[in-house]
A and B are shown apart, each in its own frame.
Chain A
Amino acid sequence: MGTTQSGIHRGRLAPAEYETNFSDLHPRLDDHEALVAADRCYFCHDAPCMTACPTSIDIPLFIRQISTGNPIGSAKTIFDQNILGGMCARVCPTETLCEQACVRNTAEHRPVEIGRLQRYATDVAMTENKHFYERAARTGKAIAVVGAGPAGLACAHRLAMDGHDVVIFEAREKAGGLNEYGIATYKAVDDFAQAEVDYVLAIGGIEVKNGLKLGRDFTLADLTANFDAVFLGMGLSGVNALGAEGENLAGVSDAIDFIAELRQAADKATVPVGRRVVVIGGGMTAIDAAIQAKLLGAEEVTICYRRGKEHMNASTFEQDLAASKGVMIRHWLQPKRVIARDGHVAGIEMEYTEMQDGKLVGTGETGVLTADQIFKAIGQTFEAAGLGSLALAGGRIAIDSEGRTSIANVWAGGDCVKAGEDLTVTSVAQGRDAADSINRMLAAGAQPASAVA
């Protein structure tokens, strides 16, 4: 049986509980459920949901295809715009995108279940190993893609379709990026991220080289010298520090590392967790870490966010999900000092905050939360070496509307650029559109001028 002792321990739960806790959050709709859900779509003209989708999937069409018994055609409609439509169906914050725009909200405060329908159609096609795209005649052009995350994969797939040869340089040992390492386990079960990578790569013409990191193993200059074009999609590798005393104590760690460890653990019982856990932050990462800490058997999990509920980056749905799992979310609290006992975390002193003249300030009033484990989830930062003179903007890579950077023949997209929201679906759109831009450049045979000076 499990354990309730204080400190950070593995095996807090009985084996069956892990199984239940980390099962699929929203299981795939069965055929009947999909038909019923699809029947609710009005097939709007110039549909608001489609406009709200960063990849502009033709949602009314794919839902109509489901309702007419054509899930394979439906999947193609989705993949035409978003080759990672399977993962997006699982992780997109649909409640702030397509489903928020659904006109059914106006009619009855309940949107069509677009995300789950998208998952239904893409699952049918992927389960049947149905592939829709073939490579065009080989062009002889070679493109380097840095990072095998959503942006890089989407870019590589589109380039491969166009007949180009693609080499993806991936620092980690598996492809998938945050889909593999950064998504809560219950959102993509059964090793879906790897299945999707395989599905995308099946088109051919894409070589993935793992364990090669930009700045350590090669430079951007190496790539521009050896490839016709380069796409940078390496995401964010740095994390923000708390700026609080004692943050290097044992028991304080980055939420993204915890999420990755959990995702990679074949047996969730081997992942240790504290009895009382405090998560600092207000985004999706904070929520994912907090919920999963709870699911691992932590007795008490508290999210502390320095601003109000309305400022949280995590969607209302995610906040409600956390609450339903027993996570306490507290607002207007910032970390001041991690309290140690015997060299280990014993608690955290938090200071209340408030807005003064539009600025967030501490009120001076503090309190202590008992904790044996603290996760930092206060944002990731762009950290990269080997980029030479590449221009940045707002701490990330500067791009124009087509994804072109300041260096000729170099494009970028995904979380490493400062454009759009840091969402899987946004990264897919940027990777795809950069590929189209690259293809136009290569097809024209023209030497492009750099877009960003």
Chain B
Amino acid sequence: MADLRNNFVGIKSPNPFWLASAPPTDKAYNVERAFKAGWGGVVWKTLGEEGPPVVNVNGPRYGAIWGADRRLLGLNNIELITDRDLYTNLREMKQVKMNWPDRALIASIMVPCEEESWKAILPLVEETGADGIELNFGCPHGMSERGMGAAVGQVPEYIEMVVRWCKQYTRMPVITKLTPNITDVRKPARAAKAGGTDAVSLINTINSIVSVDLDNFAPNPTVGGKGTHGGYCGPAVKPIALNMVAEIARDPETYGLPISGIGGVTTWRDAAEFLVLGAGNVQVCTAAMTYGFKIVEEMITGLSSWMDAKGHRNLDDICGRAVPNVTDWQYLNLNYIAKAQIDQDACIKCGRCHIACEDTSHQAITQFVDGVRHFEVMEDECVGCNLCVNVCPVENCITMVGLEPGTLDQRTGKTVDPNYANWTTHPNNPMAKQAAE
């Protein structure tokens, strides 16, 4: 059995699956249930400063998009940080941590961007026995209008400043949660590192209008006739999150900075993808909000089975393994040539590959051969774009097969060159550099 124990910036948990700071971690009742279900850790729903708690809207807080069979693909929300009293939360956190000493319990915090506010809350949190803190610099709605959340996360200087205060006023590890609502996520990550953060976590939710009520001409969720942008999450955001994680993981300035991966993790496979792209663990929310806490069993057993099958002993064996293979487009090998190949035994003859290629791409797939409905790749037209693979409803029916060096590419009439060559040296590139002698 693969060893799934996780040590993230010194915070230990029995597995790398944490629940992200969100409604599922708002109170002891939920968190106790999560730990019983097997979650390795939780980031408690964001605490605000002492005083009257924030208030939430009393109408709908969530909107969604769905795929076939109404599978939830994307969720957005306009909920704020915890609307419970600070001391109630702190008391429950302390009790839960005592009850579950082997699980990670992190406090998410969002207070005004003033040193005194952070200085005031940190000792209170530390007293609960929490394993660390996560700075919520990502919440894109409501709190950002008050100068907190994403309003801080979008200004690298503020990030550095607040992180520095936190490192100054607490011994707890500091995880800085980043917003994706920014042009270049490396900038805030570098700022957090400069401030001394122990880790970053990303992504927070994405600014979004999830749909529009066409009867009332208002965004969903509609609260009394009006809507606002909400934070988007769920399976749909995973590709964006993976890219941002990888960008930070391979940035020389932040290389080695621990990352807690967040964004659409729904299955063990999603989690594994985050881990190999440089995340030290993952945080999950939407999947739990869609299916309940039990899904962690699938994640644990799935990750474990895959690691066993591949001979990976522990998380260190896989973390970051894909990072060296993430590169810039300009370094991709232009001499690598692949062609689509259709497995005729698996083909169900739906014709989707043909029409996609015919209407929108390279006219490289037949519809009829000798008058019979038959879908076959014409190698002399195929550019290897992979569109047919992606639209085919049968998994592994169409595959991309790389041409062996020395064989003929029927499309170009040229022999496949065994040597690596990229755009930086390509003759069509006006900026091409001469290969070093």
Contact = CB atoms under 8 A, between A and B. Distances in A.
Interface of A: 35-36, 39-40, 42-48, 103-104, 106-107
A82 to B, nearest CB: 23
A42 B354 CA distance: 13
A45 B348 contact: no
B351 A47 contact: yes
16 contacts: A35-B70, A36-B69, A39-B68, A42-B350, A43-B352, A44-B349, A45-B352, A45-B354, A45-B355, A45-B367, A46-B367, A48-B373, A103-B348, A103-B349, A104-B348, A106-B348
Contact of B350 (A35, A36, A103): A103
B394 interface: yes
Given A42-B393, A45-B355, A46-B367, A106 B349 contact: yes
A308 to B, nearest CB: 30
Given A36-B69, A48-B373, A107-B393, A42 B349 contact: no
Contact of B349 (A36, A39, A43, A48): A48
The 3 A-B residue pairs whose C-beta atoms are closest, nearest first, are A45-B351, A45-B355, A106-B348
B71 to A, nearest CB: 9
A103 B350 CA distance: 6
Nearest to A44: B350
Interface string B47-60: 00000000000000
Nearest to A107: B348
Nearest to B392: A42
A42 B70 CA distance: 16
Q: Which of the listed residues A47, A104, A107 has the most CB atoms from chain B within 10 Å of its own CB? A: A107
Nearest to B375: A45
Contacts of B69: 36, 39
B3 to A, nearest CB: 38
Contacts of A42: 350, 352, 393
A44 B394 contact: no
A44 B354 CA distance: 10
Nearest to A42: B350
Contacts of B70: 35
Interface residues of B, number: 14
A368 B393 CA distance: 55
Nearest to B368: A46
B352 A44 contact: yes
B351 A107 contact: no
Interface string B346-362: 00111110110000000
B436 to A, nearest CB: 50
Contacts, number: 35
A139 B309 CA distance: 77
Contacts of A48: 349, 373
Interface in B328-354: 348-352, 354
A88 B277 CA distance: 55
Nearest to B69: A39
Given A44-B349, A46-B367, A103-B348, 12 more contacts: A39-B68, A39-B69, A40-B68, A42-B350, A45-B350, A45-B352, A46-B351, A46-B355, A104-B348, A106-B348, A106-B349, A107-B393
A45 B351 CA distance: 5
Contacts of B394: 107
Given A107-B393, A107-B394, A44 B351 contact: yes
A103 B68 CA distance: 18
Nearest to A38: B68
Nearest to B355: A45
B202 to A, nearest CB: 33
A45 B375 CA distance: 11
Contacts of A104: 348
A57 to B, nearest CB: 17
Contacts of B373: 46, 48
Contacts of B367: 45-46
A45 B68 CA distance: 19
Q: Which of the listed residues B70, B349, B394 has the most CB atoms from chain A within 10 Å of its own CB? A: B349
A106 to B, nearest CB: 4
Contacts of B355: 45-46
Q: Which of the listed residues B351, B354, B355 has the most CB atoms from chain A within 10 Å of its own CB? A: B351
Interface in B384-425: 393-394
Contacts of A103: 348-350
Interface string B110-151: 000000000000000000000000000000000000000000
B344 to A, nearest CB: 11
Contacts of B68: 39-40
Contacts of A40: 68
A104 B69 CA distance: 16
B23 to A, nearest CB: 27
A106 B397 CA distance: 13
Contacts of A45: 350-352, 354-355, 367
Nearest to A108: B348
Q: Which of the listed residues B68, B69, B373 has the most CB atoms from chain A within 10 Å of its own CB? A: B68
B326 to A, nearest CB: 34
A36 B67 CA distance: 11
Interface in B65-97: 68-70
Contacts of B349: 44, 48, 103, 106
Nearest to B358: A45
A4 to B, nearest CB: 48
Contacts of B350: 42, 44-45, 103
Contacts of A36: 69
A48 B355 CA distance: 14
Nearest to B393: A42
A107 B351 CA distance: 14
A230 to B, nearest CB: 38
A36 to B, nearest CB: 6
A106 B344 CA distance: 12
A35 B394 CA distance: 21
Nearest to B349: A103
Nearest to A106: B348
Interface in B220-275: none
A65 B349 CA distance: 22
Interface string B372-386: 010000000000000
A108 to B, nearest CB: 9
A46 B68 CA distance: 22
B359 to A, nearest CB: 9
A66 to B, nearest CB: 13
B244 to A, nearest CB: 32
Nearest to B71: A39
Contacts of A39: 68-69
A46 B359 CA distance: 13
A319 to B, nearest CB: 27
B331 to A, nearest CB: 37
A40 B69 CA distance: 8
A36 B355 CA distance: 25
B374 to A, nearest CB: 12
A363 to B, nearest CB: 43
Q: Which of the listed residues B69, B348, B352, B393 has the most CB atoms from chain A within 10 Å of its own CB? A: B348
Contacts of B352: 42-45
A106 B70 CA distance: 24
A205 to B, nearest CB: 37
A48 B372 CA distance: 12
B2 to A, nearest CB: 33
A298 to B, nearest CB: 43
A373 B68 CA distance: 52
A8 B350 CA distance: 53
Contacts of A43: 352
A36 B71 CA distance: 11
A106 B343 CA distance: 14
A45 B352 CA distance: 6
Contacts of B348: 103-104, 106-107
A70 to B, nearest CB: 13
B410 to A, nearest CB: 25
B221 to A, nearest CB: 19
A36 B68 CA distance: 8
A356 to B, nearest CB: 37
